[in-house]
């Protein structure tokens, strides 16, 4: 298929692009490089540097790519930043995303695959979380992704745009070539691994008074190769709807730090900090729907295996991507 990938220079997008190309698809990456890296784009893909805020460009490039499917990864995705700068999230994730949706309808795209998030749920009434739980986000990031989900539903009903929206839990790990490099790193695993690489003196724990067994937040970490596998399955004609992607196992911040220490063989000193605004205490997926309906089978369900691939990438690329 011809696949148009927004955000293909970013962490999850770059690895999905690699998988798409390995599976024999033709890929056009559209990315403004505000967060992504040019060298994270597989050289077999066609690359266009521009922003989704430029509606005319999106439509023109999409048309030229003859895309049958769109994968939409481009977004701002930091809970903490969204609590300080909500406008950035609504502008980039919702308003600019709408340009892409309109272009997809105009160009007759057959399948739209959307990167959504468990942050659309807010603090859940129960865990593991199924897709039918109420969505009550507690940060603008989650709200902006929920708004896009709702737009997708209306575009499907009114324009017949077939979509799959994946609600990722915590993406982690690396492929052999591509990994996680944010210019300002806020995520837990890469920050802890930076300590193991002697690039930072200590790791920080944001909040030790949550209602969890060790007082720190619990998340469900999912390997990016497993996320990529779900995206390949989502391309199949007839697939449609919302799917959680996680392993169903929750790990606390302290447990993640312990796993990083074990994998790296380095001791990681920690400093306890206050809670980070916008963080729900516990997010754990029930992803049976994706397994049942898409035939999705995660290959790296164990946290230690996930961290092992991340550690290998960070050791090989201690400064991340060169650009
Ligand atoms: N976290 C932490 N220290 C860090 C980074 C993150 O304690 O240096 C916590 C954060 O508050 C959250 C969890 O680790 O409870 C996962 O955060 P991350 O930013 O990796 O992903 P998010 O869940 O926000 O998507």
The superfamily in CATH containing domain 2-171+221-245 is: NAD(P)-binding Rossmann-like Domain (3.40.50.720)
What's the pLDDT at 16? 98
| Nearest protein Cα to ligand 1, atom 25 | 170
Other Cβ atoms closer than 10 A to 299: 9
The pLDDT of residue 48: 98
Burial of residue 227 (CB within 10 Å: 0-12, 13-18, 19+) is: buried
> Hey, whose CA ends up nearest to atom 16 of ligand 1?
188
φ, ψ (nearest 5 deg) of residue 268: -115, 105
Between the CA atoms of 130, 134, 138 and 139, what dihedral angle is there, to the nearest 10 degrees?
Answer: 70
Active site residue 141: yes
Q: Is 171 in the pocket of ligand 1 (CB under 6 A)?
A: no
**pLDDT value, residue 45:** 98
From the number of C-beta atoms within 10 Å of its C-beta (0-12, 13-18, 19+), residue 54 rates as middle
Each residue's pLDDT tens digit, 157-186: 999 999 999 999 999 999 999 999 999 999
Do β-strands 251-252 and 218-219 pair in parallel, antiparallel, or remain unpaired?
A: antiparallel
Structure token pair of residue 63: 């048309």
Mean of pLDDT over the chain = 97
**How does pLDDT run across 4-52, given as a tens digit for each residue?**
999 999 999 999 999 999 999 999 999 999 999 999 999 999 999 999 9
Give 309's contacts (C-beta < 8 A, 6+ positions apart).
173, 174, 175, 223, 225, 300
Give the Cα separation of 9 and 43 in Å (integer). 11
188 C-alpha to center of ligand 1: Å?
5
Ligand 1 site, residue 170, Cβ cutoff 6 A: yes
The band of 215, judged by pLDDT with boundaries at 50, 70 and 90, is very high
**Distance between CA 293 and CA 243 in Å, rounded?**
9
> What pLDDT does 84 receive?
97
Tokens 């129960």, residue located: 126
Q: What average pLDDT does the segment 63-90 reach?
A: 97
**Residue to mutate, 139, 206, 271, ligand 1, most ligand atoms under 8 Å from C-beta:** 206
pLDDT score, position 57: 98
pLDDT at residue 182, rounded to an integer: 95
Torsion angle of the four alpha carbons 30, 36, 40, 46, in this order, in degrees rounded to the nearest 10: 10
Is residue 70 a contact partner of residue 104, using CB atoms and an 8 Å limit?
A: yes
Domain boundaries, the chain: 2-171+221-245, 174-219+249-316
What confidence tens digit (pLDDT) does each residue in 286-312 have? 999 999 999 999 999 999 999 999 999
**Nearest protein CA to atom 24 of ligand 1, as residue:** 79
Q: Which H or E run contains 114?
A: strand 111-117
3-state secondary structure of 32: coil
Superfamily of domain 174-219+249-316: UDP-galactose 4-epimerase, domain 1 (3.90.25.10)
**Distance from Cα 1 to the centre of ligand 1, integer Å:** 36
- Beta bridge partners of residue 243, listed in sequence order: 166
Single pTM value for the model: 0.97
Tell how far the Cα of 215 is from the centroid of ligand 1, in angstroms: 14
pLDDT of residue 284: 97
**Please, which pLDDT band fits residue 65 given cuts at 50, 70 and 90?**
very high
According to the model, what pLDDT value does residue 58 have? 98
Q: What are phi and psi of 186, to 5 degrees?
A: -115, -10
- 68, 3 contact by CB (below 8 A): yes
Give the H or E element holding residue 15.
Answer: helix 11-22
pLDDT at 176: 92
Ligand 1 within 6 A of CB of 193? no
Q: What is the pLDDT of residue 241?
A: 98
Query: What is the mean pLDDT of the segment spanning 203-215?
Result: 98
Between the alpha carbon of residue 238 and those of residues 4, 28, 111, 227, 231, the distances in Å are: 19, 23, 9, 19, 14
Q: Using a 6 Å cutoff on CB, does residue 253 contact ligand 1?
A: yes
Confidence at residue 306, expressed as pLDDT on a 0 to 100 scale:
98
Q: For residue 54, what are its two tokens?
A: 């430029």
For ligand 1, say whether the CB of 206 is within 6 Å of any of its atoms: yes
Q: What is the reported pLDDT for 239?
A: 97
Give the rounded percent of residues in the chain with a pLDDT score beyond 90: 100
Q: Choosing from 30, 141, 210, 300, which is the catalytic residue?
A: 141
CB 269 within 8 A of CB 203: yes
- Give the pLDDT confidence score for residue 165 in this predicted structure: 98
């Amino acid at each position: 298929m011809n696949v148009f990938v927004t955000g293909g220079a970013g962490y999850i997008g770059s690895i999905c692009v690699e998988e798409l190309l390995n599976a024999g698809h033709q890929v056009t990456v559209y990315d403004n490089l505000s967060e992504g890296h040019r060298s994270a784009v597989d050289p077999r893909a066609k690359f266009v540097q521009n922003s989704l805020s430029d509606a005319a460009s999106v439509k023109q490039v999409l048309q030229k790519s003859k895309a049958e499917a769109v994968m939409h990864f481009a977004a701002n995705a930091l809970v903490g930043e969204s609590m300080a700068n909500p406008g950035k999230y609504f502008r980039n994730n919702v308003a600019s995303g709408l340009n892409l949706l309109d272009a997809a309808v105009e160009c007759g795209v057959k399948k739209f695959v959307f990167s959504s998030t468990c942050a659309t749920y807010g603090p859940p009434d129960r865990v593991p979380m199924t897709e039918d739980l109420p969505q009550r986000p507690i940060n603008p990031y989650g709200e902006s992704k929920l708004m896009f989900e709702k737009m997708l539903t209306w575009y499907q009903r009114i324009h017949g745009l077939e979509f799959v929206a994946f609600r990722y839990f915590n993406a982690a790990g690396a492929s052999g070539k591509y990994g996680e490099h944010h210019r300002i790193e806020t995520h837990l695993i890469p920050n802890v691994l930076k300590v193991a690489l002697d690039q930072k003196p200590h790791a920080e724990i944001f909040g030790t008074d949550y209602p969890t067994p060790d007082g720190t937040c619990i998340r469900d970490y999912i390997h990016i190769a497993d996320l990529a596998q779900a995206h390949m399955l989502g391309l199949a004609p007839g697939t449609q709807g919302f799917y959680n992607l996680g392993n169903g196992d929750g790990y606390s911040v302290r447990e993640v730090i312990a796993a990083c220490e074990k994998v790296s063989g380095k001791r990681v000193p920690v400093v306890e900090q206050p809670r980070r605004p916008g963080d729900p205490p516990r997010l754990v997926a029930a992803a049976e729907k994706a397994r049942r309906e898409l035939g999705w089978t995660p290959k790296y369900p164990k946290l230690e295996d996930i961290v092992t691939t991340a550690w290998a990438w960070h050791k090989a690329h201690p400064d991340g991507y060169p650009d």
